[in-house]
Amino acid sequence: MKQVFSLVLLGLFCSNVVAAPAESQCAVQRNDKVKVEATGAVQSGRIVNGIGVKKIERYQFAISLRYDGQFHCAASIITPTHGITSASKMFPLLGFLSNVTVIGGSTSALSGGIELPLIDVFFHPSYKASFDSLDFDVAVFTVPTNAFQGKTNMAPIALQTSELPAGSRCYVVGWGRTNLLDPSVGNELRYATMNIVSQRACIRSWADWMIISTNLMCTKYCFGVDTCWGDEGSALVCDGKLTGIAAFTNFNCD
């Protein structure tokens, strides 16, 4: 299984990408019990073979963006006024931001929740749209001032402030495809455990596809668990903190 994330590390505009290397890196057992919930302001897609989220209260930071009323990508609340997502998903929408809405407080990407307007978006100053690199694939957007504050089941997640070693246990949460052959996104929010792997393994896995710089990091898991198309922008959470943003997965979502 191979996948890519953009990492949020030591501030809003420092990115990392997460990809999955060889199966030998996977040492997690199926019966491992891992706490994957994050709650409220102190914290920190649909996913293939992940676990469905029944209560959004455990993932109050998780929000989705809709374009013309249709699911576009996942995002995370980071302040009462700001959200964060993948720059590569927001870049094509420049000039059409009035058609984008922010949905929070619901496990569904298609219905329910609280709808807010998107006011503006800011890209990492070093981000460049490219097919062979995902460096700095981070965008911060705004909603009306303090619009996330006081809303039911909507709260910020804290940002990661330290570099994590290979082997660290994390999880990803999103609304992407649950089946590669099914083009529709999942209506139900799902999560899956992921483990950080070494930089060397990351570079080796993606050598034929893209440049993996020192700004990038990789994760993986076993048993066919992976992110898939539609999970871009989803949160990678480690130790209860926002550590990465889903940016890319391998073509087979495995």
pLDDT tens-place values along the chain, 254 residues long: 344 455 554 334 333 334 333 333 344 333 333 333 333 222 223 333 345 566 889 999 999 999 999 889 999 999 999 999 999 889 999 999 999 999 999 988 788 899 999 999 999 898 887 766 678 889 999 999 999 999 999 999 999 988 888 889 898 888 865 545 455 555 678 888 888 888 888 888 777 777 777 777 777 654 444 445 456 788 999 999 999 888 765 444 44
pLDDT given at position 111:
81
- Rounded distance, CA 226 to CA 133, Å? 21
- 166 burial via Cβ count (<10 Å: 0-12, 13-18, 19+): middle
Considering the chain, tell me which residue range(s) the CATH 2.40.10.10 domain(s) occupy: 62-142, 157-246
- Rounded distance, CA 23 to CA 152, Å? 41
pLDDT given at position 62:
95
User: Positive or negative CA dihedral for 26, 31, 37, 42?
Assistant: negative
pLDDT given at position 249:
52
The residues with which 236 forms a beta bridge, in sequence order, are 172, 244
pLDDT given at position 221:
53
pLDDT given at position 241:
94
pLDDT given at position 44:
26
**CATH number given to 157-246:** 2.40.10.10
Cβ neighbours for 2, distance < 8 A, ≥ 6 positions apart: 19, 20, 21, 205, 206, 220, 226, 249, 250
Class at the top of the CATH hierarchy for domain 62-142: mainly beta
pLDDT given at position 94:
92
